[in-house]
């Protein structure tokens, strides 16, 4: 990810993060994918009414899908409102999908969604990562680093 892409994510009005993913997984490679959404789904995402908790990605017939992502029904929607938890298709190039498909054949690797954001053109994008699950001692190390950082920040604030 280059500097320009980081700037787009920072200035996006909507940033829906999967906060648990960085605690549970080590990220090996990241990709940015487009999302196939209906009209009321994009309106709900722009309102910030989505969640990536307990969601994951899988590959089926050369297409990549995200399962378990919750996009709340649009408040002003009518009878044509979308179901909250349906499988949604992600848009990646064939080369990227083939690379992911080869990698997830290795045991212990999975694809997890990290972030949903709106780009400059008003389209919903999702950052996904090829990830390996952390062991228990890795999780304890992450907690220790987080607590150390907090204590350093507190000490710097008082001085």
Mean pLDDT by 10 residues, the chain (159 residues): 74 84 89 90 88 91 92 77 82 94 91 91 91 84 88 87
What's this model's pTM, rounded to 2 decimal places?
A: 0.80
Tokens 């190039």 -> residue: 93
- The pLDDT tens digits for 4-16 are 777 777 777 788 8
| 82-89: long-range pairs with CB below 8 Å, 24+ | 82/38, 82/40, 82/41, 88/35, 88/36, 88/37, 88/41, 89/35, 89/36, 89/63, 89/64, 89/65
Picking from 90, 92, 96, the residue whose alpha carbon sits closest to that of residue 69 is 90
Q: What is the pLDDT of residue 129?
A: 94
62: alpha, beta or left, given left = phi > 0 and alpha = psi -120 to 50?
Answer: left
What's CA 158's distance to the chain center, in Å? 36
If you ran DSSP here, which 8-state letter would residue 53 be given? Answer: T
């Amino acid at each position: 990810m280059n500097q320009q892409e980081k700037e787009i994510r920072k200035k996006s009005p909507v940033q829906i993060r999967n906060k648990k993913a960085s605690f549970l997984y080590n990220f090996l490679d990241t990709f940015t994918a487009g999302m196939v959404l209906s009209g009321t789904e994009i309106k709900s995402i722009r309102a910030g009414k989505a969640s990536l908790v307990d969601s994951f990605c899988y590959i089926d017939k050369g297409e990549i899908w995200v399962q378990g992502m919750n996009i709340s029904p649009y408040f002003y929607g009518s009878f044509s409102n979308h179901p909250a938890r349906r499988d949604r298709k992600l848009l990646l190039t064939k080369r990227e999908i083939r690379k992911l498909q080869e990698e997830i054949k290795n045991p212990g690797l999975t694809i997890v969604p990290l972030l949903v954001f709106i780009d400059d053109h008003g389209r919903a994008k999702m950052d996904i990562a090829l990830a390996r699950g952390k062991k228990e001692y890795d999780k304890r190390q992450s907690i220790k680093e987080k607590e150390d950082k907090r204590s350093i920040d507190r000490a710097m604030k008082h001085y």
